[in-house]
Structure 1
Amino acid sequence: MPRRFVIEAVMVATYGHLLVPSSPIDYVVPYSSILELYDMRDGSDPVMEDPDDDAHVKNKIGELIAFFEDPLNRKKIERTMQVPWRESSPLLLNERIQFTIVHAVDSAQYGEAFDPIETELLLTALKFNLPLLSDQFEFQDKLIQAEIPVQIYDIEDFEFAVEEGISATDMELSKDF
């Protein structure tokens, strides 16, 4: 069974090591973060500071968009979009990576403290009891400050999260302290 993480689609395109995990992974992605890929690919704002890195990441974003637009994958995604909080059937990238797309629905519960994508990420993690992967320090800090009961790993700790992680039991024990 693959290890599951909630993540923004752009993170997979930006961080190459996410595409070569040591164990099977299921990236659970809110649909709205897939829509962000189009803005990033087509927008004039750079995704990365270095022009060569920016061109490389935009190319990877284009490849990820093409993957999601594949007729079979698009059909799975379209079915998901018919019902709030529905998960797609797995979209297989390769033998180690699959994506599950979620029709996440923004909630006013966290809307003031978090932007819409952040809100959908944290609500998806809460709803499916899954850890989050992020490179956004501000987002991580806001989650901690708001005491939202969601497990989050910094993108730099990806291998630890995949190999060892922190179990739900460990999380419950840490709440007692």
Structure 2
Amino acid sequence: MSRQFVTEAVMLAIYGELLLTPVPVEYMVPYTSLLELYDFISSDEPLMSNPEDDQHVKEKVRELIDYLEEPLNKKKIQKALNMPWAKSSYILIGETTRVTVVNAMDTAPYGEFFDPVETELLLVSQREQVPLLTDQPELIHRIIDASVPVHVFDIDDFQFAVESGPFSHHV
């Protein structure tokens, strides 16, 4: 049984440890999060404060895009886009990791506190009863402040989250 997390696609490019796990892990990624990868590549805005780190991360984002655009992976993703809330077949992305793309639909229940991608992350987490993994402390604080019923982990606690096993559904 693999550990499951909901996360943004860019986290898979930024944090290499997400792909090198001691146990099988599945990441559920909203489709709109994949689309953000293209924005990151084409933007002049840095993802990282250090220019060398920024260049490295952008290369990793490009590698992830290229991998997801390979014909079999692209076909899996496209198939999931035919219906709201459909999930792609899993895409292997390492020896112990896989990605499932979710055609999440932002129904705006959290519009005052969260942007559309954040809302989709929360909705996938709720719908699938899978914890959310993020590197944004301010997002964690907003989740708590809004009393959103999801379990959330900071990237710094990833190793603990992987080793902990099943989770309760609430923050």
TM-score class, shorter = over 0.9
In terms of fraction of residues, the more helix-rich structure is: 1
- Give the whole-Å Cα distance in 2 for the aligned partners of 1:118 and 1:111: 9
Partner of 2:84 in structure 1? 84
Would the aligned equivalents of 1:106 and 1:119 in 2 still touch at CA under 8 Å? yes
Partner of 1:2 in structure 2? 2
Residues 104-127 of structure 1 show CA distances to partners (whole Å, capped at 9, x for unaligned) of 000121112100110000000001
**Structure 1 residue runs without a partner (length 5+):** none
After TM superposition, give the deviation of residue 65 of structure 1 in Å. 0.3
CA-atom RMSD in angstroms: 1.4
Q: Does 1:18 align with 2:18?
A: yes
Would the aligned equivalents of 1:22 and 1:159 in 2 still touch at CA under 8 Å? no
Q: Does 1:155 align with 2:155?
A: yes
3-state SS of paired residue (1:111): coil
After TM superposition, give the deviation of residue 37 of structure 1 in Å. 0.4
Kindly name which structure, 1 or 2, has the bigger radius of gyration based on alpha carbons. Answer: 1
- Give the whole-Å Cα distance in 1 for the aligned partners of 2:166 and 2:73: 31
Query: How many residue pairs were aligned?
Result: 171
The 5 A counterparts of 1:19-168 are 19-165=19-165, 167-168=167-168
After TM superposition, give the deviation of residue 150 of structure 1 in Å. 0.2
3-state SS of paired residue (1:114): coil
- Give the whole-Å Cα distance in 1 for the aligned partners of 2:58 and 2:14: 9
**Structure 2 residue runs without a partner (length 5+):** none
After TM superposition, give the deviation of residue 28 of structure 1 in Å. 0.4
After TM superposition, give the deviation of residue 166 of structure 1 in Å. 5.8
Percent of matched pairs sharing the same residue: 50
Q: TM-score when scaled to structure 1?
A: 0.93
Would the aligned equivalents of 1:31 and 1:101 in 2 still touch at CA under 8 Å? yes
3-state SS of paired residue (2:4): strand
After TM superposition, give the deviation of residue 94 of structure 1 in Å. 2.5
